Amino acid sequence: MKTVNDINFNTKKAVIRVDFNVPLDENFKVTDATRIEAAKPTIDYILAHGGSVILMSHLGRPKGIQDEFSLRHIVDKVSEVLGMPVTFASDCIGQVAENAAAHLKSGEVLLLENLRFYKEEEAGDVAFAKQLASLGDVYVNDAFGTAHRAHASTTIIAQFFPENKCFGTLLAKEIESLNKVLKNSEKPVTAVLGGSKVSSKITVIENILDKIDHMIIGGGMTFTFIKALGGQIGNSLCEDDKLDMALDILAKAKAKNVQIHLPVDVIAANAFANDAQTQVVNVNAIPDGWQGLDAGPKSLEATKAVILQSKTILWNGPLGVFEMDAFANGTIQLGEFIAEATQNGAFSLVGGGDSVAAVKQFGFEPKMSYVSTGGGAMLEMLEGKILPGISAILNN
């Protein structure tokens, strides 16, 4: 796997695909700079080794040129994170971009305008990719969040750099961390899958069954399994058209000697509201009019026992509706268990929008081995797919 460490950047211009698709407030100020901070090690490395940097990214889903999606809004924040001035080009191709790139000196940083102002970006247009490629000497992909898309800047551009293309530090770490779970994991391996729907996780489940020893199922997807097994789930979330699929997963897991751990009790509420009445009930005996919204105490005890004996842990999806304080305890407790296992030497990988949001919200991020930056990309890798943005760097 070729990374920035394998390339001589002295006097070279590196075109880096970063993921600066960051949230902005109504005054166009960046509210969370995590993605910019994540790209800093790659940028710092290239600058320290005599290179200059041309950053390209998308922001939002613009329909043509829309000022609210201009990357000029984030220039100050990028400068602040990098601790140096950043030049902005008001276009990503053509004369404006070419002039800005031509005047770039070693040790300087240029940020190009939003790639998605051109429909050719998402279309994977070769001529557009060639124009982007013409700006630099080396291509670096450091955007894991878009590595599952065959866009011009994430995949197509790589063909114009047969020798001079590599992974940035962030993307290399993402691949390494996922491979630690999928290919070189230390046993026992436990996957914790939460969230609302079985259907969105089915391909992941089928792909990882051969690689894991335990699967802990939580969140709303629990109730599709419980109902399939004949339990009473009251008004809990359920995918009625996926009951056979749930039984099929249980059968496959049994055939592969994977232990599936379903909750035994839940915190049930009489309404989907923070101030609803709650009670602890058996997961298969939820009264009519009530719905399971968080893991119960017995379930959490069982979860703790499995997590603390695991050597590799994958966490994707919360155990309850953690956005409401009344139903956040299960997800917080799970975070505590995984943090403890990690401290004891386990490797823990957290990925998927809601799990990442939860570990950040409750302060667990520094206590996990790795928190993935790409929700969709990580899920596709867990499904066993080869991501186009990754294969483009690996293949000449």
Residue 353 among known ligand-binding residues: yes
72 is in an annotated binding site: no
292 labeled binding residue: yes
User: Is the CB of residue 350 less than 8 Å from the CB of residue 372?
Assistant: yes
> Is 35 a catalytic site residue?
yes
Q: Phi and psi of 370, rounded to 5°? A: -155, 135
Of 197, 252, 298, 385, the active-site residue reads 197
Which residues are registered as beta bridge partners of 295? 266
Residue type, 296: G
DSSP for residue 287: P
User: Annotated binding residue at 61?
Assistant: yes
The answer to the question of whether 352 is labelled as a binding residue is yes
Q: How far apart are CA 121 and CA 152, in angstroms?
A: 5
To the question of whether residue 354 is assigned a binding role by annotation, the answer is yes
First-to-last alpha carbon distance for the chain, in angstroms, is 12
CA 108 to chain CA centroid, nearest Å: 30
- 374 assigned binding-site residue: no
State CA 33 to chain mean position distance.
15
Q: Given the residues 130, 304, 353, 384, select the one marked as catalytic.
A: 353
Going by the DSSP 8-state scheme, the letter that residue 327 receives in this structure is G
Question: Is 250 labelled as part of a ligand binding site?
Answer: no
Helical residues (DSSP H) of the chain, grouped into ranges? 34-48, 75-82, 94-102, 119-123, 126-133, 169-182, 202-208, 222-228, 243-255, 297-308, 329-343, 353-361, 375-382, 388-394
Q: How far apart are CA 206 and CA 215, in angstroms?
A: 12
Residue 116 labeled ligand binder: yes
- Asked whether residue 20 is marked as a ligand-binding residue, the answer is yes
- Is 2 annotated to bind a ligand? Reply is no
Residue 356 identity:
V
Is 58 one of the annotated binding-site residues?
A: yes
Give the three-state DSSP class for 227: helix
**Helix orientation angle between 34-48 and 169-182, rounded to the nearest 10 degrees:** 110
- Active-site residue, selected from the candidate residues 298, 311, 376, 384: 376
* Residue in 12, 13, 17, 35 annotated catalytic: 35
Do 193 and 317 touch, CB atoms closer than 8 A?
A: yes
355 is in an annotated binding site: yes
Q: How far apart are CA 294 and CA 271, in angstroms?
A: 13
Binding residues for ATP: 201, 292, 323, 352-355
Q: Which residues are catalytic?
A: 35, 197, 353, 376
Binding residues: 19-21, 35, 58-61, 116, 149, 201, 292, 323, 352-355
Binding residues for substrate: 19-21, 35, 58-61, 116, 149
